[in-house]
Structure formats: structure tokens, C-alpha cells
Amino acid sequence: MPVFMKRTELVTKTENQVIDITEKVQQALDESGLDDGVVTVFVPGSTAAVTTIEYEPGLVKDFSEMLERLAPRSITYEHQKKWHDDNGRSHVKASLVGPSLSIPFHERRLTLGTWQQIAFVELDIRPRNREVVVQVSGEERHT
């Protein structure tokens, strides 16, 4: 089964920032030349995540606020006691959301729902240069 991989760079600005990366993933799929299979999106690192979301301002705000309620700034994290880097909550949130996502595709199109986009979520407490790995596995149609 053929496999294609592409790395995409992102520059983030703030904690809980949500970035729609659907077009970047579709572009990698287009470049792969594969017709049917699975796309895996993966974020190297322990303070970022990927998920699907309806990417609209209200829901993006709701999602960010939900993350803050689950892992608030106001409590002490054991990670911070050891490393003194103030991002224990970032690690907890990233573990909850997860570093990867698999999306089937058919006829070179991601099989996302009408209101479903692929979102990168920055969870660290400072701006970061990030990498997103897109791996496409599948087959070409032979007509």
C-alpha cells in the first residue's frame, strides 16, 4: 500500500489557540495522488493536539473555555513543581484531546461532515513554532 508523508509548519500565538488545518490536510492528500484510504494527522510534542470541530467563532471560544475549566491555571500541577515551567495544565489538556487523528478519504476527498473541520490546538503557554505531520495511506484507482 503506497504511503505519502508531508510536514506542515504552523506558528502559534497563544494558549488554547485553535487553527483550522483542513485545507492543509486536503492539500497533502491532493499531492499524494492516492484515491482511497486513510489520512493520519499527527502533532509531535506533548503540549499540542488535533481534533475535529465545527470551526466557527462561538464554538472555538466554547472549546477553549472548556479546556480552561478542565485544566485551570489556578491549581498546582506536579509537573510544574518538578520543572518550574508553568505548563503542567498544557500537558494535561494535550493528553485529553490527543496528538493524532485518522480520517478516511474516498475519491481524493476527506470524508468529513458538512460542518466538520480538522483543528490544530495549541495548548502551551507561549507562542510556538509547530510541525504537523500528515501521512496518507491508500491506493490509486486503476481505470
The sheet that has 3-11: what strands, in order across it? 3-11, 129-139, 36-42, 100-106, 109-110
pLDDT tens digits, 90-141: 999 999 999 999 999 999 999 999 999 999 999 999 999 999 999 999 999 8
**Considering Cα of 59, then 54, then 57, then 94, what sign does the dihedral take?**
positive
Q: Determine the Cα–Cα distance for residues 136 and 42; give it in Å rounded to an integer.
A: 11
pLDDT tens digits, 59-73: 999 999 999 999 999
**98: which DSSP letter?**
-
Query: CA nearest 29: which of 138, 141, 119?
Result: 138
Domains along the sequence of the chain with CATH: 3-137 (2.60.120.460)
- pLDDT of residue 29 exceeding 80: yes
Q: Determine the Cα–Cα distance for residues 21 and 73; give it in Å rounded to an integer.
A: 27
